[in-house]
Structure 1
Amino acid sequence: MTPPDADQTRDAVDADPTPDPFRGEDGAPVVPDGWTHGVVDANGITVSYYRVGPAPEDASATVVVAHGFFEDARCKRRLVNALADEYDVVAYDARGHGHTDATETGYAPADRVADLVGVLDALDLDDPVLYGHSMGGSTVAKTAADHPDRVAGVVMEDPAGTRSMADLDVDEIADGIVEDVREELAMSFDELLATYEDPDDEDAASAVDEIPPELYATFARSDQRQSEHVAEIPRQGYPALAEVFPEVAVPALVLRRDHATVPDPIRDGSPTDERVRDLDLADSLPDGRLVHVPGAGHHVVLTAEDAALAEVRAFLARLDDGE
């Protein structure tokens, strides 16, 4: 299907603001093969989650997966499926994403931690390993710092909060997110899918470069399940990992993108300078290490799958051995 004329899309968005946080993919979610889907009450909202793998009593451990901003749990299917042969894996949709409630408020870091702890409580999960990407990475880090008695370990995939946002205009960013969400919700699924298959600008191409074609539909479906309320996330910010890491008492692994892949406009110094800053930050973890994964982008597992998963599996195996 051919995407609508940009001016027509803008007119439709301006004339008909999103009446509901969600549209598209009506009814029950599309559930990946072998997964189950459910909902729980957590921290005052209904949270959507997926589960796959051996029964908890037969699994090496339970791994709880927190996705990144502007995605949903199904976007982590490569990681989830790779671990499901040995681990009981729970992947949940963050507030305002996927099929989880989209309240007008509740998007501060403390809310995201409370939502995750609410999921642990509702599913009666004891000592799981927390895995988070980007926004989810900062959430699991802060959860491990605040609730070390609730988790066995934590893995952070290119977590948000490694750099200060002090120089950014968060209101401008939030306004842009609202505009983007409204435009995407005005599109059909086929139109959204076309933006992945044939991006029409350099920014879109850069983002799509990290996503394998077999996941285009998954990410497009995620776009149709966003709420404009998630614009509050950049307003509220991310916990500064320089302050969080010293409080993470459980074993920790940080998977960091290869800074050689960072686009020039957002590069902060040379790749060597950035690596040194990352390693200095990771030194503040009481029991953790940071790995720069060669060739990896922000979606570390999607862009350097074999190397990234080897690190994750080794970390989980050492936890299982009690080391």
Structure 2
Amino acid sequence: MPRLFYGHITQGQTRLTYYRTGGEKPPVILLHGFTDNALCWNRVPLALEEEFDVILPDARGHGSSGIGSEGLGPEVQARDIEALIQSLDLDRPIVIGHSMGADVAARLAANRPDLVRGLVLEDPPWGDNLPLDTLDPTSPLYAQLQADLLANKHRSIDELMALCKERHPTWDESEYFQWAKAKQEFRPEALNGWMEPRRPWREVVRGLRCPGLLLTADPARGGLVTPEVAEEVKALWPQVQVVHFPDAGHSIHREAYRTYIQTVLRFLRRLAG
């Protein structure tokens, strides 16, 4: 990892933590996925920090960030990143998000187009009838997810690393520790954020005005954005470019790291001038 400075902001009743590489460089914000944390970006900040000031926040209920009483869903998280941009006086950052973080990044840009220079969205949870879209606290799925999340908090780092390696044998060895640590730190209450009211994703995409990259993966390997959804996104958001990673699953930055970095850097350099 590059050298990271640690800081926090207070948003409402919640203390939100972030890491930052610093320097007088164009700012880039990285938003992690559900049950991950800021440090799960692992090698990505190292590849970007020579040219960019990289800021990595922990989402509510993840890493070292609190929960508060304002909510946990993507609309609340988008306001958190808006507050972070303003608190750190960032000049129109480019925002990169993975999964949940990609959805949050898009909502931020749709809400506040004046604050965001561009977006990189890695396999956001967009589609029809995705499992978490219909999550209900009385459902067997909710009970199973809660049980799994609580079980992770009681597993050792070594046990979690072994579990991750079993599930994702192609990942770089450096990924396993941060993944395991994030699962121990995750607060299971954050699962409730998926049940909070939110605008439909199509409405969000329709409101995007900045340039963007949509990175998609193979649905057979766990990718969420299908080819049909990607075509719909292109129709709703003329400024987007779709790049497909046929040999990767949902965690594209882990499973196709080199191609991912090359693709993202080309986009960042073009926007940053």
TM-score with structure 1 setting the length: 0.77
Please say if residues 47 and 101 of structure 1, whose CA atoms lie closer than 8 Å, have aligned partners that are also in contact. Answer: yes
Q: Structure 2 matches for 1:204-283, cutoff 5 A?
A: 205=167, 208-209=168-169, 211-236=171-196, 239-259=199-219, 261-262=221-222, 274-283=226-235
> Does residue 1:74 correspond to 2:39, yes or no?
yes
Q: Secondary structure at the match of 1:68?
A: coil
Shift of 1:299: 0.8
Q: Structure 2 matches for 1:302-317, cutoff 5 A?
A: 302-317=254-269
Please say if residues 2 and 49 of structure 2, whose CA atoms lie closer than 8 Å, have aligned partners that are also in contact. Answer: no
User: What is aligned with 1:141?
Assistant: 106
**2:11 is matched by which residue type in structure 1?**
A
Aligned partners of 1:64, 1:33: CA distance in 2, in Å? 15
**2:155 is matched by which residue type in structure 1?**
M
User: What is aligned with 1:175?
Assistant: 143
Please say if residues 109 and 237 of structure 1, whose CA atoms lie closer than 8 Å, have aligned partners that are also in contact. Answer: no
Q: Which of 45, 50, 63 does residue 85 from structure 1 map onto?
A: 50
Aligned partners of 1:133, 1:151: CA distance in 2, in Å? 17
Shift of 1:317: 1.6
Please say if residues 63 and 88 of structure 1, whose CA atoms lie closer than 8 Å, have aligned partners that are also in contact. Answer: yes
User: What is aligned with 1:37?
Assistant: 6
Please say if residues 154 and 184 of structure 2, whose CA atoms lie closer than 8 Å, have aligned partners that are also in contact. Answer: no
Please say if residues 78 and 108 of structure 2, whose CA atoms lie closer than 8 Å, have aligned partners that are also in contact. Answer: yes
Equivalenced residues, count:
270
Deviations 1:51-104 (A, max 9, x none): 115x1x2x2x10011100010000012221111111000000000000000236
Aligned partners of 1:78, 1:102: CA distance in 2, in Å? 27
> Does residue 1:285 correspond to 2:237, yes or no?
yes
Which moves more between the two structures, 86-95 or 290-299?
Answer: 290-299
| CA spacing shift, 1:234–1:303, aligned 2, 3 Å | same
Deviations 1:101-156 (A, max 9, x none): 02366112221111111111221112111111000000000100010001111110
| CA spacing shift, 1:187–1:237, aligned 2, 3 Å | farther
Say what the alpha-carbon RMSD is for the aligned residues.
Answer: 2.3
**2:185 is matched by which residue type in structure 1?**
R
> Does residue 1:111 correspond to 2:83, yes or no?
no
User: What is aligned with 1:184?
Assistant: 152
Identity between Structure 1 and Structure 2 (%): 29
List structure 1 segments (4+ residues) > 6 angstroms apart after TM superposition.
none
Aligned partners of 2:43, 2:136: CA distance in 1, in Å? 31
Shift of 1:227: 0.5
Q: Secondary structure at the match of 1:150?
A: coil
Larger radius of gyration: 1
Aligned partners of 2:184, 2:49: CA distance in 1, in Å? 27
TM-score with structure 2 setting the length: 0.90
Aligned partners of 1:196, 1:277: CA distance in 2, in Å? 29
